[in-house]
Amino acid sequence: MIADPPRINEIELEPVHSKGELVVDNWWQPEKTQAPEPLLRRYGLEIFALALPIAVAAVYLLLIAAPRYVSESDFMVRTVASSDMGNLATLLTDQKVTRASDETYAVSEYLTSRDAVDKLVRDDGLASILSRPQGDFINRFPNFFTRDTREQLYLHFQNFVDLKINSDSGIAQLRTIAFTPQDAKALNKAMLRNAEAFVNRLNARIFNDSLAVAAHDVEEQKAKFTEIEARLTAYRNAENVLDPNKEVADTLTRIGTLMTRLSNAESDLAQKTTLAPRAPQLGALNSQVDALRDQIAEERQRMAGKQNSLSDKFAEFDRIMLDRTLASKQLESALAEYDSARQDLARQHFYLQTVVDPDSPDQASQPRRLLSLLAVVAISVGVYSVLRALLKNVREHLP
């Protein structure tokens, strides 16, 4: 006999201890296959962080980037330091020529200023130099992301000039960049000409101002001296005296003469009185002695004692003469300063000295293609590593 197949309720089912559920072996059902993950989703980070930047940089640097030429020159601003001694000592000693560090920095600031760029555009064709057809679409001006404006030209020009100053030596290094060797050299020479013109204007401005100040001081001292002379003239007219000192000297001379005569007259009177007390000449001698004494007293009163005596006129006269002496000294000093300013104006105190003349490069120095490409690779790898670590950290914290 053929045995009956087992009934369904007789099949032993293994219980699942974890949840108490029954597990049935579905071996007869076909396994479900997973759909492949999209390539962009799987390798998106590598594409956008590594492959794409490196590919774009390689295409630009190796195929598109135009060669750029660099012309270099060195210059410094020097000054003549004159001695503080007198004119004779200055002629006998040599003037020292020293560097002017502050003026070098001022010239450097001017060369990269908007005024200097405007002068280069107006006189030296800067716009044409930056828009040569030899340049690529990124470095030319204007390009697809910059407009043809004065401000954009100024900002674009900063990429074509490099100016550094050595603080120890005071020498400034000027590097100009262009798409042709001729343009690089011409641009460098034009900037040096502008620097020299700026130094000349600096000289003229400084010493013209000094000359103007000195001339103004001279005019002030002249006016002051003229006013004191007018006071002296008014005083002489009012007091009816030219020089109280001279009049005092004349008065003292007259008093001395009168006293000598008085002494002689008194001696004669004493002698006559002793020898001939009743001589008729005694009356005349007494009158002469009295007259001389009155004259001496009057002269002394004229010097001091009266309301309009010479002593009263001394105070105002001395004040005027003191002011006149001071004004004369100040006028002499102002005239000396003016002459010194004129001499300084005729002599150039600041001047631009070119240490190294601009050269005409025979080989392009920029761009440094392989070095720039390696830099892009290094940056891309660094960015990729950081983003990958961040994404891994985020996925580990997702539920």
Q: Rounded CA gap, 215 and 219, in Å? A: 6
Comparing 278 with 303, the larger pLDDT belongs to: 278
CA angle 378, 381, 384 (to 5 degrees): 150
Domains 66-212+350-368 and 217-346 share a fold: no
Decide which of 245 and 93 is more confident: 245
Is the bond into 181 cis (omega within 30 degrees of 0)? Answer: no
Percentage of the chain modeled with pLDDT above 70: 74
pLDDT tens digit string along 159-213?
Answer: 999 999 988 888 999 999 999 999 999 999 999 999 999 988 887 777 777 777 8
Structural Rg of the chain based on CA atoms: 53
Distance, in Å, from the CA atom of 224 to the CA atom of 216, rounded to the nearest integer, reads: 12
Least confident range of 117-131, 207-221, 333-347: 333-347
Q: Using a pLDDT cut of 90, give the percent of the chain over it.
A: 23
Q: What CATH number labels 217-346?
A: 1.10.287
SS3 state at 159 = helix
- Could you tell me if 150 and 158 are in contact, meaning their C-beta atoms sit under 8 angstroms apart? no
Tens digits of per-residue pLDDT, 67-80? 999 999 999 988 76
pLDDT at 336 over 60: yes
Render pLDDT for 225-270 as a digit per residue (tens, 0 to 9): 888 888 878 877 776 666 666 666 666 677 788 788 878 877 777 7
Answer whether 353's CB lies under 8 Å from 103's CB.
no
Q: What is the pLDDT of residue 94?
A: 45
pLDDT of res. 153: 93
Q: How do the domains of the chain map onto residue ranges? A: 40-65+369-399, 66-212+350-368, 217-346
Amino acid identity at 237: N
Residue keyed to tokens 């598109």: 64
* CATH number of this structure's domain 66-212+350-368, picked from the four choices 3.40.640, 3.40.50, 2.50.20, 3.30.1890: 3.30.1890
Do 351 and 76 meet the contact criterion of CB atoms below 8 Å apart?
A: no
Average pLDDT over residues 145-169: 90
- Output the six-digit token pair for 288: 């002469």
